[in-house]
Chain A
Amino acid sequence: MYKFLRRFRIVFAILFLIAVTLVFTDISGNTSSFFKDVIRFQFTPALLSAMAGIAGVFIFLILITFLFGRIYCSFICPTGIFQDAVTFIANIFKSRKKRRFAYAKPHRILRYVIMTLVVALLILGSTKCLLNLDPYSNYGRMAENVFRPVIISANNTGASLFPTTFYHINYKTFTLGSIIYSALFLVIIALMSALRGRLYCNTVCPVGSLLGLISKYSVFRIAINKTKCTHCRLCEIACKSQCINSKNEQVDSSRCVQCYNCTVSCKHSAIGLRFAYAKKENKHAVDAGKRKAFIISAGILSAALITKIFAPKLRATTKNAKAIAPPGAESIDHLKKYCTACHACIAKCPSRVLRPAFNEYGFDGALLPLMDYKNGYCNYDCTECSNICPNHALIPKTSEEKKKIQIGKARFIHENCIIVLDGTDCGACDEHCPTKAVHMVSFRDGLLIPEVNADLCVGCGGCEYICPGRPDKAIVVIGNEFHQTVALPEQQKQEEKTVTDFGF
């Protein structure tokens, strides 16, 4: 039975990891919408969606954790599964002896203090801390910033060999900072898991800590049958969470990730899932570490709550006035409150106009998705980013709704315009404007010059992108800190005319 359970876990996890990875690395754009729901089952997106009022998945995840413990960590969490894969591969290169895990003491203070800090900042309306530690978002960034460029380079090699089947893709929208940051996490997580299994999950990961708190009270838990146990330590050696203490027959449920490796290692079927509310409730003495962790956590939380109550507008919004948040973000504040920079939107943007921010949104907005019209502009009909976002940081929009969102306004800079400087026709901005917010009006000598009607502008950046003005563009989009609503462009009625002559 446990053999089957463990195999099922492995197969399920591998398939899930592939699906999540595909969402971020599908360069053809064909399969990723098929898999896009897998990222909605991630804990952090579910939590933030719940904060935004859509709590279904969150309740489901809490419920399964209460029933079966941290199965999220082994079945669903991409960073968790990725670490298991690294551990597995590392074991191939290790001697038999080196492969062995051993029980390790919990780092309670570290775990719960990190978790509380994350929660405290969430209460204060910032995902800053969560964003850096969340296993899903970190995996997303790894896939988008590290795996994707590798896949693209493989594709481009293919495109050189088979030019009619594969097409070239450029790397213009990747940013070095984000690549380095994501690669750094990749290296750290790979090293940690190669050496110590699920160390990250049980010391740093805020999701692991939170689910650990619930799994302590889960209905079914891994436990050792004291009458059968021979203290052979096989289960302890197999435990990548290092949470089984074979000597005193204890399993730390808050760290157990339900991988079932221990259950198949035991020669006497002494370890396995047990219904935890059977009869005896062995009360442990509360140890000092636990108490300290609790006190510190409570302190941080109350501080956060007090700050929230007495200084609701504490966070100084120091940001570049020009920064443009993607459609659906509603405001830069909303984005900072809900986005954990998983980069799913960046991966999905067909026009590749989204890139990770540096400090455009201010320091606390680093890595968040930013509209950048250097290499492209936002397609008028496209709603990919808002519909892929699992966090509700970008609120899902239909094409019709999106056309009414103004993320910024175009500003025409007369003195930079080719038409003014050279006295020749241009109109590239007008040509690219989907709403005719930018339109041509009479200038001089039969020339036309662009004019902006900001009431129609959606801030798509078509004009800024194509403007040939050098060194400075003659038309730029200034972001709206709070997105606004514009009317759909009025149809310019014209009479249907039947022409029967050729005219020449």
Chain B
Amino acid sequence: MERRNFLKALALGSAAGMIQWKSKNLFAALPQNPAPLNDLVAVMGGEPAQLYAKAIASMGGIGRFVKKGQSVVIKPNIGWNKTPELAADTNPLLVSAIIKDCLAAGASEVGVFDHTCDEWRSCYKTSGIEDAVKNAGGKMLFAHEEKYYRQVSIPNGKRLKSAKVHEAIFDYDVWINVPILKNHGGAKMTIALKNSMGVVWDRRYWHANDLQQCIADFATFSKKPALNIVDAYRVMTQNGPQGRGANDVQLAKAIFMSTDPVAVDTAAVAFFSQYKEMTINDASHIKLGEELKVGTTKINELKVERIRL
């Protein structure tokens, strides 16, 4: 009985998901460009803004994801009270470039937040993201109190059945996930799937209830990021996610972009493994995400573009 219900829900859920997916693709693709769009783009060898510009163009432009008049919420990693050079938080130059692009595409407003680990005001400030957001015309959102989070159920989660999710995820039309590529002591890697943990209130629950499974479970939540942009300009290869200092960071000058968080994580792990040994089996939430049909680790079956600047 239970299994039947579960399957029913799963079928319904994925059907709904697919319809939504299709309609989006149709809208964007039909008028001008009949050629299939890229699923995954990787660019290397440039400054953050250049990398972004090249990658988003290859993805079909920001207009594919953000329609005129829509509001956009950007979720970078701002977890730690660290300067951009230490690569614990997403590069502010990248965040700035995305905001400007969204606004140029006609976004009504762009909000940015993270449920930080260190004290939130110092994180916002030291990371350089607060200043970058203000200068680019975006808005920093508050996320430090439980009041800003809403209870939702996650019917397709195995261990994580419900969570409190930040209100901006619901109130803004488009959610763009902008993680930084890092080694991680608990989850092994923190990229797109793990970065979404920062939109929920109670992280301890995840740690206490099979962290890797919870990360994958949350990716099944009905509202998903429209786009995942992985900042790999500076990469923390050891002692993550905080790092001890500049020695933990490699200058990689790369970016990865995909609508599929599993695919982009898979690609980013492959890139990362050139610095430090790592597989998607170690960062098992990526595999678990695939099992929950959040995305695919078989990136060879996708339409991928690799660009060197």
Q: Which residues of A contact B (CB under 8 A)?
A: 29, 163-164, 167-170, 350-351, 376, 379-382, 418, 422, 424-428, 430-436, 439-440, 446, 448, 466-470, 489, 491-494, 496-497, 499, 501-504
Contacts and interface: CB of A to CB of B under 8 A. Distances in A.
Contact of A428 (B121, B207, B306): B207
Q: Which 5 A-B pairs have the closest CB atoms?
A: A427-B186, A468-B208, A430-B185, A504-B270, A468-B204
B172 interface: no
Interface in B234-251: 237-239, 241-242, 244-248, 250-251
A494 B247 contact: yes
A164 B139 contact: yes
7 contacts: A382-B119, A382-B122, A426-B207, A492-B238, A503-B271, A504-B267, A504-B299
A470 B237 CA distance: 32
B208 A425 contact: no
A435 B273 CA distance: 24
Nearest to B266: A504
Contacts of A433: 242
B46 to A, nearest CB: 14
Nearest to B213: A424
B241 to A, nearest CB: 6
B247 A492 contact: yes
B211 interface: yes
Given A436-B244, A491-B245, A494-B238, A29 B121 contact: yes
B185 A381 contact: no
Contact of B117 (A168, A170, A430, A432): A432
B42 interface: yes
A380 B205 CA distance: 25
B237 A494 contact: yes
A379 B81 contact: yes
Contacts of B184: 427, 431
A170 B145 contact: yes
Contacts of A469: 208
A424 B210 contact: yes
B118 interface: yes
A160 B272 CA distance: 44
Given A379-B118, A424-B212, A425-B211, A502 B44 contact: yes
B191 to A, nearest CB: 13
Contacts of B204: 428, 466-468
Interface in B254-276: 254, 266-267, 270-275
A502 B306 contact: yes
Contact of A499 (B121, B203, B210, B274): B274
Interface residues of B, number: 56
A501 B271 CA distance: 8
Interface centre among B44, B204, B210, B247 (most CB of A within 10 A): B204
Contacts of A163: 142
Nearest to A489: B244
A430 B204 CA distance: 13
Nearest to B117: A432
A470 B207 CA distance: 11
A439 B238 CA distance: 11
A497 B275 CA distance: 7
Contacts of A435: 244
Contact of B186 (A169, A351, A425): A425
Nearest to A504: B270
B145 A168 contact: yes
A470 B242 contact: no
Contact of B211 (A29, A424, A499, A501): A424
A379 B119 contact: yes
Contacts of B119: 350-351, 376, 379, 382
Nearest to A438: B185
Contacts of A428: 186, 203-204, 207
Given A422-B210, A502-B44, 5 more contacts: A350-B119, A379-B119, A431-B186, A499-B250, A504-B266
Given A431-B184, A470-B208, A501 B145 contact: no
B242 A434 contact: yes
Contacts of A467: 204
Interface in B103-125: 117-119, 121-122
A426 B207 CA distance: 5
B252 A499 contact: yes
A492 B244 contact: yes
Contact of A167 (B144, B213, B238): B144
Contact of A168 (B147, B185, B254): B147
B136 interface: no
Contacts of A382: 119, 122
Interface centre among B186, B203, B272 (most CB of A within 10 A): B186
A24 to B, nearest CB: 18
Contact of B274 (A170, A425, A431, A503): A503
Nearest to B141: A164
B85 interface: no
Given A168-B145, A491-B244, A427 B210 contact: no
B148 interface: yes
Contacts of B267: 502, 504
A448 B185 contact: yes
A425 B187 contact: yes
B282 interface: yes
Contacts of B239: 436, 492
Contacts of A424: 209-213
Contacts of B237: 494
A432 B242 CA distance: 7
A498 B213 CA distance: 34
Nearest to A426: B207
A426 B187 CA distance: 7
A164 B147 CA distance: 13
Contacts of B208: 418, 422, 426, 468-470
A493 B245 CA distance: 10
Contacts of B209: 422, 424
A430 B213 CA distance: 19
